[in-house]
Homo-oligomer: A and B are copies of this chain.
Amino acid sequence: MSGRLFIVGLGPGDPSLQTPRAGEVLAQATDVVGYGPYVARVPERVGLTRHITDNREEIARARHALQLAAEGRSVAVVSSGDPGVFAMASAVFEAIESGTPDWRAIDIEVVPGVSAMFAAAARLGAPLGHDFCAISLSDNLKPWDVVLERLTAVARAGFVIALYNPISKARPWQLGAAFERLREVLGPQTPVAFARAISRPDERLLTTDLASAQPGDADMSTLVLIGSAQTRRIERRDGRSWLYTRRSLEAAS
């Protein structure tokens, strides 16, 4: 009697970066569940019910989607980018673990997507060209000390760092504190990029260095990339530049 649950990554924004599989499952869904701006990216049609919730209600949203699927509906939970990267997939499984045993019988498909970090990297060149990591700066779900410890560990170890959730009204100071900590470990010339709303009409890309990076250049739609000692800038003929990270280790210049 139970329906299906699709946990869908819509990609970074441009329809040409959304997978065909995402389109297929959205076409067969009876219900789409998610944060308003993401649900708005799913075309309206007869027979599709849209359930829009606030971005902070992830577990409640996950339970609602599971309940609908358990009632026999075909439900798509949508996220921007990839659903497994600081998005809804983890919340859904967390809801299952603590929820009714019936939910463990639901047929679930996670549809991967092009993540914000890979879309940003593609626009910049190849800054994730070697070992890299992704860290959420939100301290809603982990203590701030843990965030700082993790930043220190990966910066010292030579990883390129993608910072998700860098700033919000409720968390205005964390990104500045992260830059301060990173300046204790990495050189002032380390490349930093602010990649906002990549592939969407309001895309904005800014590259600078760690000494000059300003938290005010990030907003909730921005991914911040911090290079390693192997990250280089190449001047293009047109005056712009590419960022890339060398695949091999050599002494920092």
A142 adjacent to chain B (CB < 8 Å): yes
Taking CB atoms, residues of chain B closer than 8 Å to A134 are 131-133
Choose among B17, B82, B141, B159 the residue that contacts A247 (Cβ–Cβ < 8 A): B141
Check A128 against B249 for contact (C-beta < 8 Å). Answer: no
Interface size of A as a range: 35 or more
Most buried by B among A21, A58, A86: A21
Check B247 against A97 for contact (C-beta < 8 Å). Answer: no
Complex CA–CA separation, A149 to B20 (angstroms):
40
Select from chain B the residue with minimum beta-carbon distance to A19: B17
Taking CB atoms, residues of chain B closer than 8 Å to A110 are 121-123, 125-126
Taking CB atoms, residues of chain B closer than 8 Å to A125 are 89, 93, 110
> In angstroms, how far is the closest chain B Cβ from the Cβ of A203?
14
A200 adjacent to chain B (CB < 8 Å): no
Choose among B20, B104, B123, B142 the residue that contacts A248 (Cβ–Cβ < 8 A): B142
Taking CB atoms, residues of chain B closer than 8 Å to A150 are 131, 157-159
Complex CA–CA separation, A125 to B95 (angstroms):
13
Residue contacts A-B, CB under 8 angstroms, 16 given: A12-B112, A17-B21, A18-B19, A20-B20, A90-B246, A90-B247, A94-B244, A96-B242, A104-B234, A105-B237, A110-B122, A110-B125, A114-B114, A133-B154, A141-B247, A142-B248
Interface residues of A (CB under 8 A from B): 7, 9, 11-12, 14-21, 24, 58, 82-86, 89-94, 96-97, 101, 104-105, 108, 110-115, 118-119, 121-123, 125-136, 141-143, 146, 149-150, 153-154, 156-159, 232, 234-238, 242, 244-249
